[in-house]
Amino acid sequence: MTTTREPTPPERTPSRPLTIAQIAELAGVSPATVSKVVNGRSEVAPETRALVEDLIREHGYRRQKKRPTAAPLIELVFHELEGGYAMEVIKGVEQVAREHGLAVVVSELPDHHPPARGWIEGVIGRRPHGVIVVFSGLTRAQHEQFRTRDIPVVLVDPTGDPGHELPSVGAGNWSGGLSAARHLLELGHRRIALITGPAHALSSRARLDGFRAAMDAAGVPTDPELVRQGDFSAEDGLAHARSLLALPRPPTAVFAFNDAQAMGVYQAAHEMGLRIPDELSVVGFDDLPMAQWLIPALTTVRQPLTEMAAAATTMVVALARGETPRQNRLELTTGLVVRGSTAALAA
């Protein structure tokens, strides 16, 4: 049976956050039940849990004087753990966590959606120092669940605008797209294909905007036929590159919005007997370790993933100590790394 309650009239809204006992009285449940919700315990009915969480969001929660001790953990959550991207982030988190005697718990939450309720409850139950969310986001309600329990959250490479409430660390995606386009334009390329990331990804939109800014400044139109929306996977890069290279007027260069997609472009070029860079120039984005081992070595935009993750971990540790970060939104610089996959357009 679903529990319901009448909204608290304005004149009854308390000016101070409520204690567990007061929340229990409003919800019509025992203080022990409210305590289980607050501490992320699983043995509470979903309807009751939702009711208690609503009351906490509405009124706030006043802790007892003795605050629970945070576990020496940092929660690191990805939308996908495959590939070099995740390894570079883990490396950065581990570096800083080790300095502070903290362990790292890694989770994978696929499909880019905000973390599910079960994950939130598990994190609350472990009471970590903080949470780092990579290439994903939190709903406002989930953020409130962490905030009311004094568990700091920092986003790395957020998919959407994190706003001012959640600290975040990103990279100069716009300038990265700009530098990739300028490099190819300087080599004489005009028919430049793009394999972008997902439409919901803020980083992909910024790279596309930067690329278009360089093209517009050079007076070169971006051909819509050469723009394909991808999902940051090698398989996706391969499929789109096959289609692009089969056009009656194929591109002379391809800018893939990450290194994995660029690998797919390499495979498509090999299948069609095209030599890189003599007949097709390729630029990636990320500069993962494997980029320098491709044949030829990949020209790419370096995104400082390890440094981004380290910065986010430093922010989490500071927040857990009650300190205020110097910056709530940190953007690290990207830079073009020129290798052997790009060359001047043949006459």
Per-residue pLDDT of the chain (347 residues; tens, 9 = 90+): 444 444 444 334 445 677 777 777 777 777 777 766 776 666 677 777 777 777 777 776 655 544 567 789 999 998 878 788 999 999 999 999 999 999 999 988 765 555 566 777 888 888 898 999 998 777 777 788 888 888 899 999 988 776 667 899 999 999 999 999 999 999 999 999 999 999 989 999 999 999 999 999 999 999 999 999 999 999 999 999 999 999 999 999 999 999 999 999 999 999 999 999 999 999 999 999 999 999 999 999 999 999 999 999 999 999 998 888 888 899 999 999 999 999 999 86
Sign of the torsion formed by the C-alpha atoms of 165, 166, 168 and 172: negative
Please determine whether the domains at 73-170+306-332 and 173-303 fall in the same fold group of CATH: yes
CATH topology of domain 73-170+306-332: Rossmann fold (3.40.50)
The C-alpha angle 238, 78, 194, rounded to 5 degrees, equals 30
Tokens of 163: 């706003």
pLDDT at 7: 42
DSSP string for 123-179 = HHHH--SEEEEES----HHHHHHHHTTT--EEEES-SS--TTTS-EEEE-HHHHHHH
CA distances from 123 to 73, 120, 130, 162, 274 (A): 10, 5, 9, 21, 50
Domain 173-303 grouped into CATH 3.30.1050.10:
no
pTM, full prediction: 0.78
Distances from the Cα of 181 to the Cαs of 2, 191, 207, 224, in angstroms?
57, 11, 10, 15
Q: How is the chain split into domains, by residue range?
A: 20-59, 73-170+306-332, 173-303
**Cα atoms found within 13 Å of the Cα of residue 293, Cβ hemisphere only:** 4
Q: What angle do CA 34, 38, 39 make, to 5 degrees?
A: 115
| Cβ within 8 Å of residue 6, ≥6 positions away | none
Q: Report the C-alpha gap between 186 and 206 in whole angstroms.
A: 21
d(CA 97, CA 250): 48
Q: What is the DSSP letter of 195?
A: E
**Helices in the chain by DSSP H: which ranges?**
20-27, 31-38, 46-59, 83-99, 117-126, 140-147, 173-186, 202-217, 234-245, 259-271, 305-320
Residue 26 confidence (pLDDT):
75
